[in-house]
Amino acid sequence: MLDTWKNYCQTNGLGQWVATPEDLIAYLQYIYDRSKSVSSVYQHLSSVSFFYCLRGLDSPSYSPLVGMFLRGLKRQHLKITGPASRAKPITVEILKKLRDYLYEKPQSLRIWRTIWRIHLAFYCLLRWDDVCRLTVRHFTTYFLNLLFKINFFF
């Protein structure tokens, strides 16, 4: 990434280590136009800032102008691409379809554990990664009812 910065400076007649915030903003706009990715802009900004710090120089990336540019770039990017899509939350209907699909398979202990964990996570509002870490020692029977205690610091 630093090579891109060096090439950009040479092409535009800028000094590598004496760039102004305006020069850095023009470079970041160039990167965005080339990649159409905000994360790529942040990666390039971090590499330029890091190498300025290694040389003991004040990085132009700390300028308020650069911060304003980045906020504007994020807004512009959201207008073009739309908001990030998120996974839909699981519903009872989806859970029933999943259970029916798993019941069609040949029954094994692994499938029963999976069905049980899915139901436990959904109806007890637990995180899936916490449910996957549960073992037999977290459960106890009491008057034919199954109780469980979850220690979140496994």
pLDDT computed for residue 68 by the predictor: 92
Going from the N-terminus, what domains does the chain have, and what CATH number goes with each?
Answer: 2-81 (1.10.150.130), 92-148 (no CATH)
In this structure, the number of other CB atoms found within 10 A of the CB of residue 27 comes to 22
pLDDT computed for residue 98 by the predictor: 74
Report field, pTM of the whole predicted structure over 0.85: no
Which one, of 65, 10, 4, lies nearest residue 30 by Cα?
4
pLDDT computed for residue 78 by the predictor: 79
Handedness of CA 66, 69, 70, 71 (dihedral sign): positive
Q: Give me the tens of pLDDT residue by residue for the chain, a chain 154 residues long.
A: 778 888 888 888 887 777 888 988 999 999 999 888 888 999 999 988 888 888 888 888 888 999 999 999 988 887 777 766 666 667 778 777 777 777 776 567 777 777 777 777 777 776 666 666 766 666 655 555 555 554 444 4
